[in-house]
Amino acid sequence: MKQREVVIIGAGPGGLCAAQKLLEGGAKVCLIDRNASLGGQLIKQTHKFFGSEKQYASKRGIDIMEILISSLTQYGDQLEIMTETSVVGMYSDKVIACVKKDKFFKIQAQSIILATGASEKSIPFENNDLPGVYAAGAVQTLMNEYGVKPGDNVLMVGSGNIGLIVSYQLMQAGINVKALVEAAPSISGYLVHASKIRRLGVDILTNTSVKRAIGSEQVKQVEIWDLDPTWQGIEGSERILDVDTICISVGLAPLTELLQQLGAEVRYIKELGGNVPVIDKRYETTVKGVYACGDVVGIEEASSAMVEGKITGLNALEDLGYDIRASRLEMKALHEELKFLRDGPHAAKVRAGYLKRGMLT
Amino acid sequence: MIDKTGIAIKALFEKEFPENEETLNRPKAIIECYKEIPCNPCETSCPFDAITIGEDINKRPDIDFDKCTGCGICAYSCPGLAISIRQFKEDNAELKFPYEFSPRPRTGQTVNVVDRSGEVITTGEVINVIDKSKQNKTALVHITVDKAYMYDAAAIEVVKNES
Amino acid sequence: MRIKEHPILNFKAKDQVSFSFNGKTLYGVKGDTIASALHANGVKKLSESIHLKRPRGFYCAIGNCASCNMVVDGKPNTRTCITPLEEGMVVENQHGKGRV
Ligand SMILES: Cc1cc2nc3c(=O)[nH]c(=O)nc-3n(C[C@H](O)[C@H](O)[C@H](O)COP(=O)(O)OP(=O)(O)OC[C@H]3O[C@@H](n4cnc5c(N)ncnc54)[C@H](O)[C@@H]3O)c2cc1C
Ligand code: SF4
Ligand code: SF4
Ligand code: FES
């Protein structure tokens, strides 16, 4: 069995930033991702990011990805990258089971950082399994990573930042966005994103949802309807839109299965997206030497995933016996950054989640 | 309302313009960022310190029109595409809007101008398309319209490929 | 169905990769996954559900949901959304649990 000092599972902003700190401190890192390239969600984020300069605000997600990846290239043999490699199992003695192409192998790690991100949720409606009903992130992957149009006419479901941003990106790819529906009474993402698509002609319909998709082999149309204050569909308010794609953006769920296999404790915290690992302020799970950061510990943003990644990397470094005294100030500053990122009205949910976690600093 | 539709009504966006109309005889940045979000590139990008958000990046931007030169840097730096540059020029209004579509409009082209709901309200003529590499693919489209549209114009309609 | 013009990204013409889908020869490009190549060819139905035989396409496109499972070079349950397309691959719709 291969022996490795630190294994990081997931090479999104969280995993990449954790790797950076560990490598800086002198540890040997093995970075695993099932995708063919590094970057996680960033690979498809063609828009300019929010935040402050510290989190690369005003740079596009794809460019931030390049910055993060190129900061790792100087480390040569200290860093081992395994792409197209899926982690399929984890055991409490910190053994990781991987599959690359047809090959199955195991790695014994001293420390593990889990940065697997999240998966997209779905919602129930008639025919929601028809080809043409896609998660918003999937549509983004298809367009921005592979350059393929998901369809010609799209209904977007959900007004969070992802729904709003993917609508805009669909238009940039020359695809018609017929409307955006939102079950809640108001838009949940940033208003600047909403205004941006609204002034380009996309109807944003709140208190509205999908009744059913229409089509036999694939989506041909969609029926939408108004919702009453108890979120029930109102008979008679139905109307049909001609779309070949229904794009679902109704939230994300942390990918915690691997942690559960390993025996780490998870807890249901709705505000953070569902089952999330129990962690302490150092981002260590209930299994010693196993850490988690980024969307897998609670759905937030790339900006916070990067900060958490750095914090986690430094802590893992310390536990491996490296001297991190020189990084005390940096650690303090990182916690401060997180505090600001979680401060505004849009972060109310995240704050509520962290309050339940007893970790509001 | 804006919470439900994404459309800022007049009473809301008017407050973001200078109180004294004459201020707009010179180009000024009009910032339409109505809700607190963790974001501050408008502040950090302005070379004239005209925009203030402060240490807590969740605060809304505040602009000092006396300091603003209308240079346009904030307009292409803002990830929300929430900033436009506006100025009266004789009987016209000259506007610069951020634009992230392909193809770019051409100088001299007549384009449709939309309001905040996406309704076409008038046409404008493209004076110039500013698209330097440091703007990182957010162009500024400089147009001229009748001055009656100074306040209501919100963007140009996406220009389609001529076939 | 490929994006030709994009304001941010540059989709350069890439080398063609040929593969077979249900016996027909189709073409994708270098860098495609099996699912993206099929979609570019207008193929949205990738599999059928186990019990009701309902058509299925991809859903997540990042390897999480198994909705895109197909039979590839005789191997069932291949997640085509994260499997890179290779020259000469034999791809078939999967019916049910994927016995071959
Ligand atoms: C449309 C959209 C717009 C967004 N806009 C912004 C924005 O403007 N600003 C912002 O700050 N954030 C934004 N975000 C959010 C941001 O992208 C995420 O919060 C961030 O990517 C989370 O980082 P992460 O490292 O935790 O996970 P991810 O980026 O999701 O990376 C997880 C990685 O783990 C890998 N992985 C998972 N499971 C396994 C396994 N079993 N084996 C091997 N590898 C595995 C995956 O392949 C993936 O590469 C946006 C997200 C979307 C979808
Ligand atoms: S237009 Fe120029 S001077 Fe005015 S606020 Fe923007 S960056 Fe500053
Ligand atoms: S950069 Fe744009 S979105 Fe961000 S705070 Fe300034 S005006 Fe608002
Ligand atoms: S579409 Fe979800 S695993 Fe491929």
Q: Which H/E stretch holds residue A111?
A: strand A103-114
Residue nearest to ligand 2 atom 3, measured at CA = B68
Residue A360 predicted with pLDDT over 80: no
Point out the ligand 3 atom lying closest to the alpha carbon of residue B80. Answer: 3
Q: Which H/E stretch holds residue A312?
A: helix A302-319
* Residue A225: both structure tokens together: 């309807």
Q: Which domain holds residue C55?
A: 16-91
Residues A351, A259 within the same domain: yes
Q: For A34-38, A289-293, B73-77, which range has the lowest pLDDT when averaged over its residues? A: A34-38
Residue C99 predicted with pLDDT over 90: no
CATH assignment of the domain containing C82 = 3.10.20.440
Residue reference for tokens 């004789």: B90
Contact C92, C21 (CB under 8 A): yes
Q: Which domain holds residue A15?
A: 2-119+252-357
Q: Indicate whether residue B52 lines ligand 2 (CB < 6 A).
A: no
Tell me the average pLDDT across A167-186.
97
Q: Percent of chain B beyond pLDDT 90?
A: 96
- Give the long-range contacts of residues B61-65, CB within 8 A, separation 24 or more: B61/B31, B61/B33, B63/B28, B63/B29, B63/B31, B65/B18, B65/B23, B65/B28
Tell which residue, A250, A246, A266, A268, has the closest CA to residue A258.
Answer: A266
Q: Percent of chain A beyond pLDDT 70?
A: 100
Confidence category of residue C13, pLDDT binned at 50, 70, 90: confident
* Residue A233: both structure tokens together: 């569909």
User: Ligand 2 centre and the CA of C54: distance in Å?
Assistant: 56
Q: What is the DSSP string of B4-56?
A: HHSPPPHHHHGGGS-SSGGGGGS-EEEE---S--SB-HHHHH-TT--EE--SS
Distance (Å, whole) CA C47 – CA C53: 9
Distance (Å, whole) CA C29 – CA C11: 11
Helix spans in A173-301 (H): 191-198, 257-262
Let me know if C10 is exposed, middle or buried by CB neighbors in 10 A (0-12, 13-18, 19+). Answer: exposed
Q: Indicate whether residue C85 lines ligand 4 (CB < 6 A).
A: no
Chain A neighbors of C44, CB-CB under 8 A: 131-132, 217-218
Contact C80, C61 (CB under 8 A): no
Q: How far is B56 from chain A (nearest CA, A)?
A: 6
Ligand 3: which of B36, B39, B59 to mutate, most ligand atoms within 8 Å of CB?
A: B39
Domain boundary among A194, A221, A248: A248
Residue A231 predicted with pLDDT over 60: yes
Residue C22 predicted with pLDDT over 60: yes
Q: Indicate whether residue B39 lines ligand 3 (CB < 6 A).
A: yes
How many folded domains does chain A comprise?
2
What is the number of alpha carbons within 13 Å of residue A43 lying toward its C-beta? 20
- Supply the pTM of this predicted model: 0.96
Distance (Å, whole) CA A126 – CA B45: 49
Distance (Å, whole) CA A183 – CA A232: 10
Residue nearest to ligand 1 atom 49, measured at CA = A40
> Which pLDDT belongs to residue A86?
94
**Helices vs strands, H then E, count in chain C:** 1, 8
Let me know if A123 is exposed, middle or buried by CB neighbors in 10 A (0-12, 13-18, 19+). Answer: middle
Q: For residue A246, give every residue at least 6 positions away whose Cβ sits within 8 Å of its Cβ, in sequence order, or none.
A: A132, A133, A134, A154, A155, A157, A210, A213, A219, A222
Q: Which residue in C has a C-alpha nearest to residue A61's C-alpha?
A: C8
* Residue B66: both structure tokens together: 């006396």
Point out the ligand 4 atom lying closest to the alpha carbon of residue C59. Answer: 1
Ligand 4: which of C32, C44, C45, C62 to mutate, most ligand atoms within 8 Å of CB?
A: C62
For the segment A288-323, what is each residue's pLDDT rounded down to a tens digit?
Answer: 999 999 999 999 999 999 999 999 999 999 999 999
Among the partner residues A47, A187, A191, nearest to B79 by beta-carbon distance = A47
Residue B163 predicted with pLDDT over 60: no
Domain for residue C2, yes or no?
no
Point out the ligand 3 atom lying closest to the alpha carbon of residue B37. Answer: 5
Q: How far is C21 from chain A (nearest CA, A)?
A: 17
Domain boundary among A248, A265, A293: A248
Q: How far is CA C49 from CA A205, A271, C74, C94, in A?
A: 32, 33, 19, 9
Residues A243, A310 within the same domain: no
Which chains, if any, share at least 3 CB pairs under 8 A with chain A? B, C
Q: Can you give A80-104 as a three-state secondary structure string?
A: EEECCEEEEEEECCCEEEEEECCEE
SS3 call for B95: strand
Residues A75, A217 within the same domain: no
Chain B neighbors of C6, CB-CB under 8 A: 102
Q: Indicate whether residue B72 lines ligand 2 (CB < 6 A).
A: yes
Confidence category of residue C64, pLDDT binned at 50, 70, 90: confident
Distance (Å, whole) CA A321 – CA A326: 14
Domain range list for chain B: 2-157
Region class of C42: left (phi > 0), else alpha (psi between -120 and 50), else beta? left
Residue C100 predicted with pLDDT over 50: no
Residues A127, A244 within the same domain: yes
Q: Indicate whether residue C83 lines ligand 4 (CB < 6 A).
A: no
CATH assignment of the domain containing A299 = 3.50.50.60
Axis crossing angle, helix A13-25 with helix A302-319, rounded to the nearest 10? 30
Distance (Å, whole) CA A11 – CA B43: 31
Say yes or no: A176 contacts chain B, CB-CB below 8 A.
no
Tell me the average pLDDT across B94-114.
97
Domain boundary among A189, A217, A248: A248
Chain A neighbors of B137, CB-CB under 8 A: 60
Q: How far is C3 from chain B (nearest CA, A)?
A: 12
SS3 call for B122: strand
